[in-house]
Copies of this chain bind each other. A is one copy, B any other.
Amino acid sequence: MAVNHQVILAEKPRGKLALENFQFAEAEVPSPTDGEVLVKARYVSLDAANRAWMQGVTYRAALGAGEVMAGGSLAEVVESRADHLAPGDLVFAETGWQEFAAVPAKHLAKLPKLEPLTHLLSVYGVTGLTAYFGLLRVGGPKPGETVVVSAAAGAVGSIVGQIAKIKGATVIGIAGGAEKCAWLTDQLGFDGAVDYKLGDVRRALRAACPNGVDVYFDNVGGDIFEAALFNMNNHGRIVCCGAVSQYDDVPPAHGPRGVPGLIVTKRLKVDGFVVMDFYADKDAALAELKSWVEAGKIKVQEDVIDGLENLPAALIGLLAGENRGKRMVRV
Interface residues of A (CB under 8 A from B): 52, 57-59, 218, 221, 225-226, 238, 240-243, 246, 251-274, 277
Contacts of A270 in B (CB 8 A): 260, 263, 269-271
Contacts of A262 in B (CB 8 A): 272
Residue pair B260, A258 in contact (C-beta under 8 Å): no
A268 and B262 alpha carbons, distance in the complex (Å): 17
A257 and B238 alpha carbons, distance in the complex (Å): 17
Residue pair B257, A256 in contact (C-beta under 8 Å): no
Residue pair A259, B255 in contact (C-beta under 8 Å): yes
Given contacts A270-B270, A271-B269, contact A264 B251 (CB under 8 A): no
Contacts of A277 in B (CB 8 A): 267
Contacts of A240 in B (CB 8 A): 260, 263-264
Residue pair A267, B260 in contact (C-beta under 8 Å): no
User: Chain B residue with minimal CB distance to A221?
Assistant: B260
A272 and B259 alpha carbons, distance in the complex (Å): 10
User: Chain B residue with minimal CB distance to A257?
Assistant: B255
User: Chain B residue with minimal CB distance to A238?
Assistant: B260
Shortest beta-carbon contacts, A-B, top 6: A254-B254, A263-B272, A255-B259, A255-B255, A270-B270, A240-B260
Residue pair A273, B267 in contact (C-beta under 8 Å): yes
Contacts of A273 in B (CB 8 A): 264, 267
Residue pair B253, A255 in contact (C-beta under 8 Å): no
Contacts of A268 in B (CB 8 A): 271-272
Contacts of A246 in B (CB 8 A): 261
A265 and B270 alpha carbons, distance in the complex (Å): 13
Contacts of A260 in B (CB 8 A): 218, 221, 225, 238, 240, 243, 255-256, 270, 272
Contacts A256-B259, A267-B273 known; list 13 others, CB within 8 Å. Answer: A52-B261, A221-B261, A240-B260, A246-B261, A252-B257, A253-B257, A255-B256, A255-B259, A260-B270, A266-B272, A268-B271, A269-B270, A270-B270
A265 and B60 alpha carbons, distance in the complex (Å): 9
User: Chain B residue with minimal CB distance to A246?
Assistant: B261
A221 and B59 alpha carbons, distance in the complex (Å): 26
Contacts of A274 in B (CB 8 A): 264-265, 267
Residue pair A258, B255 in contact (C-beta under 8 Å): yes
Min CB–CB distance A9 → chain B (angstroms): 19
